[in-house]
């Protein structure tokens, strides 16, 4: 019988390596299994010289390995050295096929070699481990690669990029500058990528700078020793078999989700969402006793968190009750609370008092609280103000808050008590705060930032359901019936349905029969009618408003078509349910009829001005439907002086965040390439250090904690974020004049040779939030051509502007 290790660690990334190092330090019998030929393959594959960041900086490091932010090479060397010193038992090129058995007797089958037996297994395989390969003969030839670290490394080569996703397209475009590039697409179109990438690749294909093989599948890759180019790729195309000589194949086929492997080990996932991760206990144990999960697979993508977990999991396996690394941080956070005894008690108290958080794991709760702040506001003080753009979420740990429903001193007030939560409206709709909230007596609040909340909502179904229900009830209350009794609201809300629409999907069409009103909670819609055989857009309705109200007042044939401009969510309320509200409040019918009358009048006006509709439709195509603030230039006033760009660069470290000339124009309205401060910013989606935030006035900005990963650049559909190094310091005038040192006056020196010392970070428009007086681009426009505008003001803008600039 082969040796039974006390612990087997699968995956030698930062988490696994740290676990193995701790096991070695503790003299446990252990083995570290790694599929690739080197330790920490993901970081090894980072671009040469890339700066590795050590976020979050508040979290202390607890590991047998050192880790300080620095160049990729330094980090890897320090780990390698320590691994050797501790005599960690590493087996590389050991790909694990399956884990079976139970605590005390696990069997790990490998692709090559004898199975391994262990008492405990730590799964730290991350998400980057298994890149999908070609799956044909020749897939492992030296000139076939599955990643591209630095496109500038290759010059004058014939390169074939395989794949049609964002990574493939971005690689192809980056390589096309210095190489002859072809791209192989299995389908007849590019459907799986960002719009901006699709546009760029189609343009490149059209202009001939990249050749595309559509509907083509790879048959095999062969060495061609007699040819000048080392490789030969055989493709099956609609026109027959193609044999292409090349220097290199770069296949970007994505990573194989480890889900199947993980499930085969007996581990359960909480839901079918492909992004979801398996649930683990506070000691990182999965639902299989003895099988632990740490690192990115457990939902922790940051290097430092992973390393800490590696250390802790070994302690837990040995039965040592170590406090997690965040214990001190939480203690400090909680110590301000009245009656604080211990972190554990406080966690229990929070879960008892806040039903929303009762069902989540301790680990999730700890992380949630680490990101959250605890406030003890004075009675009567303002927690947030109506129309603020903040998007954090509040839970009431103790006491109460009051919320005036409507304006004026006599407006009725809603009271929320211990265990309730608020702030979900802005969180979900991406819009301004819908009401002001005042603290009550002896109030203790937990404030959670958007990202932690979004993460929790997407990983715990129960949390999502509770928040959705509250949202529907409160949205109905604040929009239609501030004074309605709770039972009626409950009844109406119970009948309301949450609906999801894709961009350009029709909510309902002119002439349809329908008896529902739809309250838009996220996204926006346009209203259009068919006039003279043409669909004319009459207006734009943003989140927080409703459409289809006439159906509830008796008119059940839709008078116009309503179409989503961006992914949109609505709350649909049918006539029967709404009748309850109408019966309850006599004034509601009048109010809705007044609104309907105003809308009809506006629309009639717009029908006469058909360019207005065309302008709306043009602006919607430019993504204004999800904007909270957009820079528009009136080209009949713009004297092309580019003072806006200069002003932007001068106030932002030498890099302009807007490109005036780029972007389309319609009816003299020009939409330059510049940030729209989206309601649900695409850039925030996948930011590892959570460096992108929205300020109270709505500005979406990037903090200095940016690690330069470039995710936001790729996620932005409007191409308004780019990577930049801070410019070099300017020398004194004489120094420049006499010795030619550094960039001179009027030159930021960004292109200067040797200016690659700084770390590249993402930069974007921050609406000059740190300057008094507003955005520099608008203030520096000499003629008044440039304005910034919120979508609420769009209809008015179009009314005023288009009349004067009819083309």
Partner 1 sequence: MAHESFINHARYRYLRLSLLLILIASIAFIWHDPHPRPNGGTWLGYTLGGVCSLIILLLLYLGIRKRDYSSSMGTLKGWVSAHVWLGLSLLILSTLHSGAQLGWNIHSAAYLLLIVVVLSGLWGMLIYQRNPALMTGNRNQQTRLVLLEQIIQLDSEALQQADLISAELHHSVAQATRPNRSSNLLNRLSNRYWSDTARADRDADHAANVYRIEQTIATQMAASRSDQQVRYYRELLSTVSQRRLLSQQLGRDIQLQAQMEWWLLLHVPLSIALLAALLSHIVAVFFYW
Q: How far apart are CA 661 and CA 640, in angstroms?
A: 8
Number of neighbours of residue 266 by Cβ within 10 angstroms: 14
349 binds partner 1, rule: CB under 8 A? no
Contact segment (CB under 8 A) with partner 1 among 32-40, 153-161, 595-603, 798-806 equals 798-806
> Using the rule CB under 8 A, which residue among 318, 636, 673, 755 binds partner 1?
636
Among 15, 780, 791, 795, binds partner 1 (CB under 8 A): 780
**535 versus 659: smaller Cβ distance to partner 1:** 659
Within 657-696, the residues that bind partner 1 by CB under 8 A are 661-662, 664-665, 668, 670
**Of 403 and 795, CB closest to partner 1:** 795
Of 358-366, 377-385, 445-453, 627-635: span binding partner 1 (CB under 8 A): 627-635
CB 612 within 8 A of CB 606: yes
Provide the 10 A C-beta neighbour count for residue 348. 13
**Residue with Cβ nearer partner 1 (424 or 634):** 634
- Binding to partner 1 (CB under 8 A): which residues in 456-475? none
* Distance between CA atoms of residues 174 and 182, nearest Å: 12
* Class of residue 241 by CB neighbours under 10 A (exposed 0-12, middle 13-18, buried 19+): exposed
Shortest Å, Cβ 800 to partner 1: 4
Contact with partner 1 (CB under 8 A) among 542, 550, 781, 795: 781
Q: Stretches 170-178, 532-540, 631-639, 684-692: which one binds partner 1 (CB under 8 A)?
A: 631-639
Which span sits near partner 1 by CB under 8 A: 424-432, 441-449, 464-472, 788-796?
A: 788-796
Q: Is 648 exposed, middle or buried (0-12, 13-18, 19+ CB in 10 A)?
A: buried
Q: How far is the CB of 634 from partner 1 (least distance, A)?
A: 4
What residue has token string 């027959």?
A: 240
Is there binding between residue 270 and partner 1 (CB under 8 A)?
no
The stretch near partner 1 (CB under 8 A) out of 105-113, 403-411, 613-621, 766-774 is 766-774
Three-state SS string over 334-390 comes to HCCCCCCCCHHHHHHHHHHHCHHHHCCCHHHHHHHHHHCEEECCCCCCEEECCCCCC
Applying CB under 8 A, which part among 176-184, 353-361, 431-439, 628-636 lies near partner 1? 628-636
Establish if 609 lies at the interface with partner 1 (CB under 8 A): no
Q: How many CB atoms lie within 10 A of CB 482?
A: 16
- Give the one residue of 360, 403, 787, 795 binding partner 1; rule: CB under 8 A: 787
7 binds partner 1 (CB under 8 A): no
Q: If you compute the radius of gyration of the chain from its CA atoms, what whole number of angstroms results?
A: 29
Separation CA 125–CA 119 (nearest Å): 18
Rounded to whole angstroms, how far apart are CA atoms 343 and 366? 10
Q: Which of 8, 427, 543, 647 binds partner 1 (CB under 8 A)?
A: 647
Closest CA to 510 of 546, 551, 568: 551
Decide: helix, strand or coil at residue 778: helix
Minimum CB distance to partner 1 smaller for 666 or for 736: 666
Q: How many residues bind partner 1 (CB under 8 A)?
A: 41
Q: Are 546 and 518 in contact (CB under 8 A)?
A: yes
Which listed range, 213-221, 228-236, 428-436, 777-785, lies at the site for partner 1 (CB under 8 A)? 777-785
**Minimal distance, residue 311 CB to partner 1, in Å:** 48
Q: 236 or 792: whose CB is closer to partner 1?
A: 792
Label residues 96-107 b or e (16+ Cβ within 10 Å = b).
Answer: beebebeeeebb
Instruction: Kindly provide the b/e burial profile for residues 678-699, where b requires at least 16 CB atoms within 10 angstroms of the residue's own CB.
Output: bbbbbbbeebbbbbbbbbebbb
Determine which residue in the list 651, 656, 725, 761 makes contact with partner 1, applying CB under 8 A.
651
Using the rule CB under 8 A, which residue among 255, 498, 591, 771 binds partner 1? 771
Q: How far is the CB of 151 from partner 1 (least distance, A)?
A: 23
Chosen residue from 506, 637, 696, 723 binding partner 1 by CB under 8 A? 637
The Cα-based distances of 103 to 94, 298, 441, 492, 508 in angstroms read 22, 20, 52, 51, 57
Nearest residue (CB) to partner 1, 152 versus 770: 770
Q: For residue 32, what are the β-bridge partners?
A: 9, 90
If one asks whether residue 773 binds partner 1 (CB under 8 A), the answer comes out as: yes
Residue from 270, 591, 783, 806 that binds partner 1 (CB under 8 A)? 783
HEC sequence for 539-560: EEEECCCEECHHHHHCCCECCC
Least Å distance, CB 53 to partner 1, is: 30
Other residues' Cβ atoms within 10 Å of the Cβ of residue 259: 16
Site for partner 1 contains 745 (CB under 8 A): no
Cβ of residue 776: shortest distance to partner 1, in angstroms?
Answer: 5
Give the shortest CB-774-to-partner 1 separation in angstroms: 8
Question: Strand, helix or coil at 497?
Answer: strand
Distances in Å between the alpha carbon of 484 and those of 93, 108, 414, 595?
67, 62, 11, 20
> Does residue 646 bind partner 1 (CB under 8 A)?
yes
Which residue's entry shows tokens 């999730």?
364
CB of 590 to partner 1, least distance (A): 30
Encode 150-165: b = buried (16+ Cβ within 10 Å), e = exposed.
ebeebeebbbbbbbbb
Binding test (CB under 8 A) with partner 1, winner from 639, 733, 737, 752: 639
Q: Does 782 bind partner 1 (CB under 8 A)?
A: yes
Q: 634, 690, 699, 766: which one contacts partner 1 (CB under 8 A)? A: 634
Q: How far is the CB of 801 from partner 1 (least distance, A)?
A: 5
Strand-strand pairing, 248-251 and 158-162: parallel
Among 406, 640, 686, 756, contact with partner 1 (rule: CB under 8 A) = 640
Q: Which residues bind partner 1 (CB under 8 A)?
A: 632, 634-641, 643, 646-647, 650-651, 661-662, 664-665, 668, 670, 771-773, 776, 778-785, 787, 789, 793, 796-797, 800-801, 804-805
């Amino acid at each position: 019988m082969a040796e039974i290790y006390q612990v087997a660690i699968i995956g030698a990334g930062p988490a696994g390596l740290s676990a193995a190092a701790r096991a070695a330090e503790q003299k446990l019998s252990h083995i570290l299994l790694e599929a690739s030929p080197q330790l920490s393959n993901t970081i090894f594959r980072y671009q040469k010289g890339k700066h590795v960041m050590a976020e979050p900086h508040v979290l202390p490091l607890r590991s047998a390995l050192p880790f300080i932010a620095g160049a990729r090479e330094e980090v890897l060397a320090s780990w390698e050295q320590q691994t050797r010193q501790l005599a960690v038992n590493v087996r590389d090129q050991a790909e694990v096929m399956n884990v079976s058995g139970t605590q005390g007797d696990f069997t790990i089958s490998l692709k090559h070699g004898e199975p391994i037996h262990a008492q405990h297994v730590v799964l730290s395989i991350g998400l980057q481990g298994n890149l999908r390969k070609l799956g044909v003969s020749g897939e492992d030839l030296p000139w076939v690669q599955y990643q591209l670290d630095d496109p500038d490394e290759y010059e004058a080569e014939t390169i074939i990029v395989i794949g049609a996703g964002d990574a493939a397209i971005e690689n192809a475009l980056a390589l096309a500058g210095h190489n002859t590039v072809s791209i192989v697409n299995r389908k007849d179109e590019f459907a799986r990528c960002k719009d901006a990438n699709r546009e760029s690749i189609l343009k490149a294909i059209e202009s001939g700078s990249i050749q595309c093989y559509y509907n083509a599948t790879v048959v095999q890759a062969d060495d061609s020793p007699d040819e000048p180019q080392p490789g030969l790729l055989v493709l099956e195309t609609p026109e027959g078999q193609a044999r292409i000589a090349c220097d290199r194949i770069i296949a970007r086929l994505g990573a194989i989700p480890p889900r199947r492997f993980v499930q085969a080990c007996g581990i359960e996932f909480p839901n079918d969402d492909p992004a979801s991760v398996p649930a683990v206990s506070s000691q990182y144990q999965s639902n299989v006793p003895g099988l632990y999960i740490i690192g990115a697979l457990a939902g922790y993508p940051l290097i430092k968190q992973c390393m800490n977990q590696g250390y802790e999991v070994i302690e837990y396996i040995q039965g040592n009750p170590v406090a997690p690394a965040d214990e001190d941080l939480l203690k400090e956070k909680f110590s301000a609370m009245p009656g604080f005894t211990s972190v554990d008690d406080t966690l229990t108290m929070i879960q008892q008092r806040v039903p929303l958080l009762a069902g989540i794991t301790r680990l999730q709760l700890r992380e949630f609280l680490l990101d959250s702040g605890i406030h003890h506001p004075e009675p009567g003080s303002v927690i947030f103000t109506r129309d603020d753009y903040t998007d954090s979420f509040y839970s009431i740990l103790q006491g109460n808050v009051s919320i005036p429903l409507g304006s004026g001193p006599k407006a009725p007030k809603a009271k929320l008590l211990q265990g309730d939560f608020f702030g979900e409206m802005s969180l979900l709709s991406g819009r301004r705060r819908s009401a002001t909230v005042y603290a009550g007596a002896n109030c203790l609040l937990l404030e959670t930032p958007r990202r932690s909340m979004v993460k929790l909502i997407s990983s715990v179904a129960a949390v999502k359901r509770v928040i959705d229900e509250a949202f529907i009830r409160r949205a109905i209350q604040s929009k239609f019936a501030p004074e309605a009794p709770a039972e009626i609201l409950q009844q109406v809300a119970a009948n309301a349905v949450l609906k999801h629409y894709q961009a350009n999907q029709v909510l309902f069409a002119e002439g349809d029969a329908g008896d529902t009103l739809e309250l838009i909670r996220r996204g926006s819609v346009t209203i259009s009618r068919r006039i003279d055989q043409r669909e004319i857009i009459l207006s734009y309705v943003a989140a927080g408003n409703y459409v289809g109200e006439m159906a509830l007042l008796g008119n059940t044939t839709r008078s116009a078509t309503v179409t989503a401009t961006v992914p949109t969510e609505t709350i649909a309320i049918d006539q029967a349910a709404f009748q309850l509200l109408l019966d309850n409040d006599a004034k509601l019918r009048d109010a809705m009829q007044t609104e309907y009358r105003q809308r009809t009048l506006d629309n009639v006006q717009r029908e006469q001005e058909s360019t207005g509709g065309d302008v709306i439709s043009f602006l919607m195509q430019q993504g204004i439907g999800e904007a909270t603030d957009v820079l528009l230039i009136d080209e009949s006033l713009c004297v092309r002086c580019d003072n806006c760009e200069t002003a932007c660069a001068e106030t932002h470290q030498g890099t302009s965040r807007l490109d005036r000339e780029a972007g389309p124009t319609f009816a003299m309205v020009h939409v330059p390439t510049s940030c729209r401060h989206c309601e649900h910013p695409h850039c925030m989606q996948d930011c590892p250090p959570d460096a992108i935030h929205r300020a109270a006035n709505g500005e979406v900005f990037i903090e200095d904690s940016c690690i330069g990963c470039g995710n936001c650049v790729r996620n932005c559909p409007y191409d308004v974020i780019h990577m930049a190094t801070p410019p070099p310091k300017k020398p004194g005038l004489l120094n420049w004049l006499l010795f030619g040192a550094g960039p001179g006056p009027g030159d930021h020196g960004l292109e200067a040779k040797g200016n690659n010392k700084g770390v590249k970070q993402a930069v974007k428009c921050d609406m000059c939030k740190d300057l008094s007086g507003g955005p520099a681009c608008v203030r520096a426009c000499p003629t008044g051509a440039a304005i910034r505008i919120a979508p609420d003001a769009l209809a008015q803008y179009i009314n005023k502007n288009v009349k004067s600039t009819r083309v």
